[in-house]
Amino acid sequence: MLDDLSSQSQNFEIDWLLHSRGNLTVGTDGQSISYKVPSYLSNDIISLNTSFLGNIKSITEGEGVFCPKNYKEGDNYPDVDTSYIKARYSGNQNPIMASILYPKNDSDISQAYPLIIEKQSDFYQIGDNDYIYYADRITTLQTSSPKLNFTGTLLFMRQNESAANDLEYYFLQSSKKFEFESNFKFYSTRTVSNFLISYENNTQISGYINSGPTQITLSTSWPVQMLKLNGQNQTFTNSSSQITFQIQGPSSFVISKTNNSRSLEKNYLTEDAPTRVIPSKSVYGFDLDLLSGLSHPYILFNQTELVNFRNKINDPTKPWFTWYNEYLSDYPNIDDVLINDPNLYEDDQRYHNVYNLLLKFAIENNQTALEKIKDYLLDMESLTHYSSDLRRAKNVRAYATAYDIVYNNLSVSEQTTIGSLLYSHAAPLMRMDLYHRNNHRVVDAGALGMAGLALKNKEMIDIAQHTILDYFYVQNPADGGSFEGYSYISFALYEIMTFISGLKKLSAFNFFEDEKIIATLDYIAETLGPLGMPGSFEDCTFDKDIQEVLLYSAAQMNDTDPSRAQRYQYIWEQRQNNTQYSSSSIYGYLKGEDTTFERIVCYSVNDTITSKPVTNQKEVWKESSMAFLRSGDQDGLFMPFSCKNYDQNHPHQDENSFELWAFGAYIANNPGYPGWGKKFHTWAQSTEGANSLLIGGSGQLQVEANGLSSSISSPYFSMVYGEGSELYNDTGSFNYAPEPYLLLIGNFAFLFIVGISFIMISTKKDIKLTRIDKLKQKVSSTTKKVFRSDEFELPEQELSKLKILNMLFLHPFRLQRYLNQYDYMEKYSRFIRRFISFFLIGLMMLIFLISCIDVNNTIIYHSQYHEDKYNIVFDILPYVILGIFTIGTLLIGLITFGFIKLYGSINKFLVRYLQTERPDISKAKLKISSRMSSFWTFPLIIFSGFVIYLTTVQQLNVAIHGLWTELNSINDVYDIVVTVLIGVIYNFGYILIFSLPFLVLSVALYSTGINLYTENHVSKRDGWKISLTSLLIVLTIVFMIYIVFYLIFKALFSLITIEAIVSE
């Protein structure tokens, strides 16, 4: 394994992480470690030795957890407590760290760890026949034993055991030439990215080349008859010892001295992405005519099919017999359910009892069960809400199934009443936008669809089908993978199984023939590891639903695709057969699922399907950015590897991490899934919980890697390269969010301008008339003309306050002259100042209240339909909203008034500074000049209100919606808030551009007024300088407060994240 660091990462100390369920031993040299883990298959002990080829400074041990099921304090499997190591090394000294992971069965004395010998710098012999060389740049390697001449960055080769001068195969990276034992082997006219070649036998050479157009020359020991590139015959030039041919791009090749050949190597990353288009409503839309003339039951079986169903269950030679009896005897025991009142059970757990009663009634025609079913159905009215939408969905699905099965055994009034109750119970699930846009909606859709089928409601059915298709087609990778892991996608499939089975039975849209559903099932079947276990990436446990959904699907596909059904049957049997291993009594997570209602009714075949092993399992899944390297089956090697480059739900910071199985032992593991909000949940999501790297002590800060960039797969050698250079970068850093930092630079520029302005004011230094001054004069002149201050004679009589306000809005310059000429300053100054203050404060409060009302409506919309009414959030939410509307509004008013006063105070200070040797100016005149100047910022405030409402407020609504429906981790909160804060910065820019004319008008008003009121002792030019300086100081303070808030938020996020991880 090679960890190739980016140039930035090389500046830090690196921690190489490895987690295991076994016992740790650190090598005496401090350069290797060993874990010993018991095999699941036998009593054998399996060891994993890890040797580091670069210098390791220290190896420390930490305590980890392994959660193959949700964590429960005091009720976990024996291997819940694990250990992990941090192997620390210098990124600068080891830009590439090579590690050799070698598993062996300690019970097999013929196995031994290979001896690793450093032949020369960065060139090692591993065991008797393997050699590796690596470098962080293209270099030339020349050695004498064995004799090599190689140019490139990576060489791995295996010598032929029986002929040391020959090779079995070799792999090159970033190379143009290679010689072995003085014999030419490979040459390319351009550097090839990757090259793999195998000398499989005496008649064929095969391999793979990742490269652009180039000419390749290879050595051969026999005359070549045939060359195939990507399966097609190609022309070539051949001599007795070499062959030359052209390639146009990535190519597999086969060179043969006969006309027979087979290609062993391939690159899955060169395959075209599947082009799957979500079916339109015209395709999947439900036709109610399919239900016309049908009498209940008709979803899972009809009255005729019920007879056959009973016969299967009553036949001791068939599995349904055992399943049925096991199911009714499991908790809750059917005998208890028959006598206990429904209210004895938790509201959101009643569906278990309903399924028990349904089987008892359907198979045995038990009338007591029927009456109890009626009790449960009629009691729906008492259930107003659940702890979550998932709980509602599970119960709705059970009630809908019951309504269909017992309908004909209900009175007319009972049919009407229960039908109405079922509709009311299911109706909230029609609001899909309220729920998490992940498996939640699919589970809800499965229940809604069942209710729609039972009630013959087309709208419910179509919403359910669209939701399911959206999940699989839009949200998940095109190759069938999952954007939220095995556990959740199998859970989603499990919960829709009765609905989509019912649709198939009714000859409606057949999900089991849909290409994306098939791709998803194939992905599950082909990527499971030994003993049918999944890789523990994202929120994944060893969930038994994974195999169950394959079994149910096998039955539904058996008539149209029997070969696929056989493979799915095999996967289920493989998991169920784990009980044959004694370890399953200790590690119960290995066992298969206990009998379920869905298995009994959805495995709708007359006889058990004959299983067929899964073969030709794909190793690299391009769209899912996952690799599953394997050799062998139950006791073979299996290494899943994750490098996902797309948005995920329930993400973990575990990209470029791996796991390892060998000899039936789970040796290197990720932590699994402790459960949402449970102990160790945050730790399990962190990079420290995965087999990955810490860089400078920091884990991954992003959840999207760059994806798989290169791969070659073959039976004898496989490689995959995951690019994760972006993972450790903070999304709030300059590279990803430069706006706050540019705003900070802008602040310093403002401060510089303020300083220059103050110097000019303090030295009373005038500069020559420049274009800028001419522009000021022109703007001032134009402004006066617009307001016609010079075109009218000033009224001699005293004006009413209403006329004064009219002049304030329409003729501000004229009002300044009027107040000064007729000495009305003392009389009207306070009135005008108060009006301006109240007007601007009221305007800001109004904008704030409108924004709050809009955001509050979003909160109310989500909260009133949110199921968990007992959540503490709902207890404090009304008080928070009341506080925002009252205290928040008052605070906005105070802040607005504060900035008005600040602007006036700065102006006053600067004027007083200029007036040290000049006649004094009254306070009223100083205040009115600043206040009238600030008044004409109201168009700016109105425009800002529109911009903020249309952008920031709507972003807040989206963020609130996201917090309710798409929040997966604390990183999601960070990303959402950063997005909103960045949006505010762009708003600053838009507002400043729009406000320029009004700011010029405001400055012109001040300069004209202060010049007038000081009788020309303060020049208009100085007035401009004073007002501009004050405005710049106010803007600088606003921006600085914002920057400080942003930086504090970033710092708090880091502390909260670290504390959340450490505390668990």
- Statement: residue 144 has pLDDT above 60: yes
Q: Are 862 and 961 in contact (CB under 8 A)?
A: yes
Same domain for 296 and 244? no
Same domain for 354 and 313? yes
Same domain for 912 and 858? yes
Point out the domain boundary residue: 602, 637, 654.
602
Same domain for 476 and 373? yes
Same domain for 800 and 847? yes
pLDDT for 1057: 47
Mean pLDDT (the chain) is 88
> Residue 525: phi, psi to the nearest 5?
-65, -35
> Residue 686: phi, psi to the nearest 5?
-80, 160
Q: Are 37 and 48 in contact (CB under 8 A)?
A: yes
Token code pair at residue 776 = 């000021």
Q: Kindly state whether residue 612 falls inside one of the protein's structural domains.
A: no
Same domain for 24 and 103? yes
Q: Kindly state whether residue 462 falls inside one of the protein's structural domains.
A: yes
Distance from C-alpha of 723 to C-alpha of 4, rounded to nearest angstrom: 9
Lowest mean pLDDT among 29-33, 729-733, 850-854, 1019-1023: 729-733
Q: Kindly state whether residue 663 falls inside one of the protein's structural domains.
A: no
Of the candidates 815, 1029, 1054, 816, the one whose C-alpha atom is nearest the C-alpha of residue 906 is 1029
How many domains does the chain divide into? 3
Token code pair at residue 248 = 């146009």
- Give SS3 for 113: coil
Q: What is the CATH number of the domain that holds 450?
A: 1.50.10.100
What is the residue whose two structure tokens read 């209900």?
A: 410
Distance from C-alpha of 200 to C-alpha of 61, rounded to nearest angstrom: 43
pLDDT for 211: 94
Q: Kindly state whether residue 909 falls inside one of the protein's structural domains.
A: yes
Mean local confidence (pLDDT), 238-245: 90
Strand order in 45-52's β-sheet? 2-4, 96-105, 45-52, 32-38, 23-26
How big, in percent rounded to 5, are the helix, strand and coil portions of the chain?
50, 20, 30
Angle at 331 between CA 327 and CA 332, to 5 degrees: 100
Point out the domain boundary residue: 534, 569, 602.
602
* Helix or strand run (H / E) with residue 772: helix 771-787
Residue 297, preceding peptide bond in cis (omega within 30° of 0): yes
Token code pair at residue 775 = 């522009």
pLDDT for 635: 85
Please report, as a single letter, which amino acid is at residue 811. Answer: H
Point out the domain boundary residue: 537, 570, 602.
602
Q: Kindly state whether residue 729 falls inside one of the protein's structural domains.
A: no
pLDDT for 871: 62
Mean local confidence (pLDDT), 801-823: 83
Q: Which of 92-106, 785-799, 980-994 holds the top average pLDDT?
A: 92-106
> Residue 637: phi, psi to the nearest 5?
-85, 140
- Statement: residue 788 has pLDDT above 70: no
Mean local confidence (pLDDT), 247-267: 89
Q: Please compute, for residue 104, the number of CA atoms within 13 A of its CA located in the half-sphere on the CB side.
A: 14
Q: What is the DSSP letter of 797?
A: S
> Residue 118: phi, psi to the nearest 5?
-85, 110
- Give SS3 for 389: helix
What is the residue whose two structure tokens read 């593991």?
A: 669
- Statement: residue 787 has pLDDT above 50: no
Distance from C-alpha of 669 to C-alpha of 18, rounded to nearest angstrom: 8
Distance from C-alpha of 632 to C-alpha of 220, rounded to nearest angstrom: 31
**Quick one: pLDDT band at residue 734, thresholds 50, 70, 90?**
confident
| Residue 98, beta-bridge partner list | 2
* Helix or strand run (H / E) with residue 755: helix 739-762
pLDDT, tens only, 868-898: 555 666 678 788 888 889 999 999 999 999 9
pLDDT for 796: 66
- Statement: residue 772 has pLDDT above 70: no
pTM of the model: 0.84
**Quick one: pLDDT band at residue 745, thresholds 50, 70, 90?**
confident
- Statement: residue 825 has pLDDT above 80: no
pLDDT, tens only, 526-551: 999 999 999 888 889 998 999 999 99
pLDDT, tens only, 410-428: 999 999 999 999 999 999 9
Q: Please compute, for residue 917, the number of CA atoms within 13 A of its CA located in the half-sphere on the CB side.
A: 2
Distance from C-alpha of 679 to C-alpha of 332, rounded to nearest angstrom: 28
pLDDT, tens only, 59-84: 999 999 999 999 988 889 999 999 99
Q: Are 908 and 926 in contact (CB under 8 A)?
A: yes
- Statement: residue 182 has pLDDT above 60: yes
Q: Kindly state whether residue 624 falls inside one of the protein's structural domains.
A: no
Distance from C-alpha of 492 to C-alpha of 399, rounded to nearest angstrom: 19
pLDDT for 748: 83
- Statement: residue 637 has pLDDT above 50: yes
Same domain for 959 and 908? yes
Mean local confidence (pLDDT), 421-447: 93
Please report, as a single letter, which amino acid is at residue 374. Answer: K
pLDDT, tens only, 258-306: 887 777 899 999 998 888 899 999 999 999 999 998 999 999 999 999 9
Mean local confidence (pLDDT), 129-158: 95
**Quick one: pLDDT band at residue 771, thresholds 50, 70, 90?**
very low
Q: Kindly state whether residue 852 falls inside one of the protein's structural domains.
A: yes
Of the candidates 695, 11, 594, the one whose C-alpha atom is nearest the C-alpha of residue 324 is 594
pLDDT for 1062: 36
Same domain for 262 and 344? no
Same domain for 779 and 875? yes
Q: Which of 324-333, 469-478, 826-835 holds the top average pLDDT?
A: 469-478
pLDDT, tens only, 353-388: 999 999 999 999 999 999 999 999 999 988 877 878
pLDDT, tens only, 958-981: 888 777 776 655 666 777 788 888
Same domain for 238 and 381? no
Same domain for 511 and 368? yes
Same domain for 940 and 988? yes
pLDDT for 768: 41
Distance from C-alpha of 660 to C-alpha of 931, rounded to nearest angstrom: 73
Residues of the chain with pLDDT > 70, as a percent, come to: 93
Q: Kindly state whether residue 276 falls inside one of the protein's structural domains.
A: no
Q: What is the DSSP letter of 696?
A: T
**Quick one: pLDDT band at residue 753, thresholds 50, 70, 90?**
confident
Please report, as a single letter, which amino acid is at residue 895. Answer: I
Q: Please, is 835 exposed, middle or buried when counting C-beta atoms within 10 Å of its C-beta (0-12, 13-18, 19+)?
A: middle
- Residue 1046, C-beta contacts closer than 8 angstroms, at least 6 positions apart: 740, 981
Show the domain range for 542.
Answer: 281-602
More confident residue, 157 or 921: 157
Please report, as a single letter, which amino acid is at residue 81. Answer: D
Token code pair at residue 309 = 């169903």
- Statement: residue 767 has pLDDT above 50: no
Lowest mean pLDDT among 309-313, 622-626, 1037-1041: 1037-1041
